[in-house]
Structure 1
Amino acid sequence: MITRKPEDVSVHKNPHGVEAKKMYDYPSAIIIHLTLKPGESLIKHLTPTDVAFFVLEGKGIVQIGEERKEVDANTLIESPANVLHCWSNESKENLRVLVVKAPKPTQPSKYLEEPRQ
């Protein structure tokens, strides 16, 4: 049995410049534990595979295509492949989201801004 906790996984360098930890990384899927601190956001981008987001803690603004909505803990959000999406944390507390990409993308995401690394 393999078990992992976010605090035991190193931060993965990413174009968004936010805390992202790969919890699971296999061809069938990739799962990332994402933490957005107050005021942080992701770059608008398109991912070449379906993505499911599950809010673990906090609340944030998610945009999928033209829809923009505030969501909070215990909410699942679906984002189809190749549809523009992004997140922002406009609250005063951390936003923690589990990002599930299935299958694991074989092509890179397309970003609408320069990476923040």
Structure 2
Amino acid sequence: MIGLLGAKIWRENGVDFGNPLNMMPVAAGLIIAIGDTSLVFSDSFSLSGISLGTIVVIGLHHLCARIAPAHMKTPVDASPRHRSSSTTARSDGNDGDGVAGEVDTLKPLR
């Protein structure tokens, strides 16, 4: 369930899973988080499940970004647009950044 929620968040934010720099860390982290994997450091401390999967995703993402060839890295200007912080809708159904009548799930109507 938590894995699906994470996938929903990545999809809504436009993460490009066609890029191996994004896919490889996420796949490894999900397998570790969903599976029964643990890393034991001592008798009193171990990492397992979601905590270990999260650390793997973060660590692998930064490692892959550091060692990847230039053609695999995403240019800065290709990142998704950031939404404005306005949460009010205009009376015509167009909030100024989309097609009139388009429903934006990130900006609830009031």
Pairwise same-fold verdict (TM > 0.5): no
**Between structures 1 and 2, the one with greater strand share:** 1
TM-score, with structure 2 as normaliser: 0.23
TM-score, with structure 1 as normaliser: 0.22
**Between structures 1 and 2, the one with greater helix share:** 2
Higher CA-based Rg: 2
